[in-house]
Structure 1
Amino acid sequence: MDEPTLYRWLVITWMALAVITFVALFFVTAPYGRFTRSGWGPRISARWGWILMETPVLITFLVLFGISDRVTNPVCLVLLIFWMAHYVHRSLVYPFRVHSSRPSITVSVIAMGAVFNIGNGYLNGRYLFTLGPELGVSWFYDPRFVMGAILFWSGYALNQHSDRVLIGLRAPGETGYKIPRGGGYRLISCPNYLGEMMEWGGWALACWGLGPLAFFVWTFANLAPRAFKTHRWYKENFPDYPSRRKALLPFIV
C-alpha cells in the first residue's frame, strides 16, 4: 500500500474514532482540571502535563516541514505560522502562565494526548508539505483561504483572551474556582473552547484537505461535550451563576 492510500485510510479511521469519542465523552469525562478524579493513574502538575502533551505535535510538524521539498513555498510558510502561533503558545508559553502547581492532570491523559498529537501532526503536516497539492500564491486570494484565515485568527484571539480571564481568577498559590466574567464569558461558559473550534475550523478551510478537516472534527468531538459538562458544573456549584449564559454558542446552546 502506497502512502497516499494509507493516508486516506488513516484519515477515515481518525474521523470514525472522533465520532466514537464524541459519543463516549457524554458518558465519561476526561479526568483533568476541575474534573480530575482518582482511578486514572498518577498525576503531575498541569504545567508539566501541558508541556509533555503538546510539545510532540510541535516537533512532529516541524520535522515534516523540514524534510519536505516545500520549505520555500509561500503558502506552506504562512500556514506553518498559523500552526506555530497556536502550538508554541500552548506548549511553551501557556504552561508557565498557569498559577496552579498541584497535581491536576493524570499521566494517562497526557499519554493519550501526546499520541493523538503525534498522529494529528502527521495527518496535517504530511498533507500540507508532501501529499496534498502544492498551492501557489493565488491561494491567498481564494475565498476559502481568506475566510479560513479570518476564522482562525478570530478564534485565536478569543481563545487567548478567554485563557487570560481564567488564569486571572487565581492568585499564585490559590486554589478553587470562581465565576469567570467579561469577554466571551458574558455570553457563554466556554469561550476558550469555542475559540479553539473556530481556530481549527478556519484551519480546515484555509488548508482545504481531509487531514485538516479531521482535526476540526476531533476538536469539536473533544471539546463540545466538555463544554456542556463545564456549563452544568458551574450551574451546580454557583447558585448565582448567570442564568442567561449558554454553554458554547451565544444565545443558542
Structure 2
Amino acid sequence: MLTYTGDATYDLVLSIALGFALFVAVAAWFVPSPYGRFASPRFGVALDPRLGWFLMELPATLSFLYFYIRGPHRGELVPLVFLGMWLLHYGNRGFYFPLSMRVPKGQRSSFGLLVVGTGVLVTTMHGYLHADFISRLGPQYGPEWLTDPRFLVGFVVYYISFGLTLHSDSILRNLRTRAEIDSGERIYRIPRGGLFQWVTNPSYLTELTGWAGFALCTWSLAGVFIFAISAANLVPRAFATHAWYREKFPDYPVERRALIPFIL
C-alpha cells in the first residue's frame, strides 16, 4: 500500500484509486467507455443520458462536501478557494451540463447502469480524496500558498481550460435543432469553430488540461489520480471518436487531430 499521508484509510483508498486508474488505462484501449455514440445494451438498463450524467457526477459534489466540512481547516482561506473551484466545476458538469443537453425525444440509449455505477465509484473516491486532503491532511495550505508558483500557474491553466470547455460544450449543444429534438431524430453533424478547428475532441483536451491545472494547484496525489483516470478514459475515447467521424463523414477536415493540435 502507498504511504503518502500516514493516515491508513486515506492511503488505502488512494492506492486503490491509482490502481484502478492503471486498470482503466489498459482496458479503455480495448473497450471505449460505453456511453454516448459508443453505448451498448450489454452494459445494463439504458438510461436517459441527462439522468445518467447527473447520477454519475452527483457523488463528486456530495462526497466532497461531506468530507470537506468534517476537516479542521474547512474555514481557512486556501481550502475555501479550492471549495469554490470545486463547486464551480461540478455546478457546471454535474448540474448545468446534463440539464442543458439536447437529447432527442425518447432517447434512452446513451448510458447503461454499469457505466453510471463505475462513474459513481470514481467520483465518490475523487471527492473524498480531494476534500479530506484539502481540509484535513494537506500540510501546505497556509495563506502563502496563494502566491506559490504552483498554485498560480495551476489556477490560470484551470480557469482557461474551464472557459474553453464551456465554449466547446456550447458548440456541440447547438448542433442539434429544437425540431430534431422534438421529432426524436438522432442526427450527427461536424462541429466547427473554436478548438474544433484543430481537434475532434476539444472538451476532452480541456478536461485534461483543467485537471492538470487543479493537480498543480493542490500539489497532491489526489490531483494526480483524477488527471490519470481522466486521461485513461478520454485518450482512447478521443482516438475512437476521431475514427468514427472520419468514417461517417467523407468530407471531415483532414487537418484535425484527435486530441492535441498539430500533434496527436
Question: For this structure pair, what is the TM-score category when the shorter chain's length is used for normalisation?
Answer: over 0.9
Looking at structure 1, the residues matched to 200 and 239 of structure 2 have their Cα atoms a distance apart, in angstroms, of 9
**Equivalent in the alignment of 1:58:** 61
Looking at structure 1, the residues matched to 120 and 60 of structure 2 have their Cα atoms a distance apart, in angstroms, of 8
Q: CA deviation at 1:50?
A: 1.0
**Equivalent in the alignment of 2:120:** 114
Q: Report the residue type matching 2:19 in the other structure.
A: A
Asked if 2 retains the 8 angstrom alpha-carbon contact of 1:154 and 1:198, the reply is no
Q: Report the residue type matching 1:78 in the other structure.
A: V
Instruction: Give identity over the alignment, percent.
Output: 38
Asked if 2 retains the 8 angstrom alpha-carbon contact of 1:228 and 1:247, the reply is yes
Q: CA deviation at 1:118?
A: 0.6
Q: CA deviation at 1:9?
A: 3.4
Structure 2 residue ranges without an equivalent (≥5): none
Q: What is the Cα-based RMSD across aligned positions, in Å?
A: 1.6
Say yes or no: does 1:227 pair with 2:230: no
**Equivalent in the alignment of 1:215:** 226
Q: 2:41 aligned to 8, 30, 38, which one?
A: 38
What SS is found at the alignment partner of 2:47?
strand
Summarize deviations over 1:183-227 as a string: whole Å, max 9, x none: 000000000001110111000000001111111111111111111
**Equivalent in the alignment of 2:250:** 239
**TM-score of the two chains, using structure 2 as the length reference:** 0.92
> How many aligned positions are there?
253
Q: CA deviation at 1:134?
A: 5.0
Q: CA deviation at 1:40?
A: 1.3
Looking at structure 1, the residues matched to 101 and 128 of structure 2 have their Cα atoms a distance apart, in angstroms, of 28
Asked if 1 retains the 8 angstrom alpha-carbon contact of 2:33 and 2:233, the reply is no
**TM-score of the two chains, using structure 1 as the length reference:** 0.96
**Equivalent in the alignment of 1:71:** 74
**Equivalent in the alignment of 2:171:** 165
Looking at structure 2, the residues matched to 232 and 29 of structure 1 have their Cα atoms a distance apart, in angstroms, of 12
**Equivalent in the alignment of 2:144:** 138
Q: Answer with 140-149 or 167-176: which moved more.
A: 167-176
Distance 1:148 1:128, change over 3 A: same
Q: Report the residue type matching 2:125 in the other structure.
A: G
Distance 1:3 1:49, change over 3 A: farther
Q: Report the residue type matching 1:117 in the other structure.
A: T
Asked if 2 retains the 8 angstrom alpha-carbon contact of 1:74 and 1:137, the reply is yes
**Equivalent in the alignment of 2:101:** 98
What SS is found at the alignment partner of 1:39?
helix
